[in-house]
Each structure stands twice: as structure tokens, then as C-alpha cells.
Amino acid sequence: MKRLSFLFAIMLTVTLISCSNVIGSTEGDEINNTENTNGDEGNSQDELKPEYLTYDTFLEKVWDFEENPQEWIYEGDVPCVIDFYADWCRPCRMVAPIMDDLAKEYNGKVKIYKIDVDKEKKLASVFQVRSIPAVLFSPTEGKPMMQAGALPKDQYIKIIEENLLIESK
């Protein structure tokens, strides 16, 4: 029993470490991922799926930090959730279907974006993303907040409901 517990603890540790502090690593590139990461969905179902952001589209749709480096000025008209991920990251792949579901559930109320940290290293650097998954929650007004690590769907919903969709009194 002790051996089994020890083995489980080692496996858990290795899994957690594999997605920490390795932004830009090519280890695990051999893992297949069926997720479309081309940056442009280009179909009528766009609003029902997360939108993949590049450096340029981030500046246009979220925050132009080149123009306003000292002040967060959100460019969108509805709050957004930004999932910083990598294809090789197992916890990121567990979060991916949750983000798909959130995009459908909050269609028109909250925009769900995804940023591949291997392709967009400068964006990962701007937000000091050191481990993934990392999720940025941005209200239409006010400061965004970052949540590191994978969470269950109900936790993401709670954060969205309590921090992004609250109405001013």
C-alpha cells in the first residue's frame, strides 16, 4: 500500500512539473492534438468556440500595451477570458473542452480567447506566464485577474459570474 501511494505521488509530481516553468520547451511536441490552433476559425460558428489570438489580434481586441503600456485599457465590448496554453501540456488539454463549453454558454456575454504560449512568447512574457494553464479574466472596466493552474468548470463559472458579469448597483 505504501509503495502504491509513493508511486502515485511520484506520478502526480511529474505530471504537475511537466507543465510548470517550461514555456517554449519543445518536449512533448510529439503529442497529437486535434485542436485547431491556426488563429482564425473563419466560419459562422466563430462565436461558439474560443478565438485564437496572435500578438496583433491581441493588441486589437484586448489591450494595446504598445500604445498604453502603463494602463490596462480593455478594447472589447464584453468581458473576456484568455486561456494561455500549449498543445503539449496535459492540464491545458483538460481545460480546452471547458473553454469550448464556456464559449457556448456565455456566447454574446463573455468572449473566450486562447493564446498558444509557444507561438506567442512575447504575450506570455508580458503577462509573466511561467506555468500553464493560466487564465486571465478581464472585465470590461477595471483590472484583469490571472488564475494559474487548471480548475474545474464550476470554478471558472463562479469567477465569471462573480467578477465579470456583476452589474453595477
* Catalytically annotated residue among 22, 92, 135, 136: 92
* Catalytically annotated residue among 53, 81, 89, 117: 89
The residue assigned the cell 500595451 is 65
Distance from C-alpha of 147 to C-alpha of 61, rounded to nearest angstrom? 20
In the annotation, is 19 catalytic? Answer: no
CA angle 134, 136, 142 (to 5 degrees): 155
In the annotation, is 92 catalytic? Answer: yes
The residue assigned the cell 465590448 is 77
Is beta strand 51-52 parallel, antiparallel or unpaired with respect to 80-85? Answer: unpaired
- Could you give the residue numbers annotated as active site? 89, 92
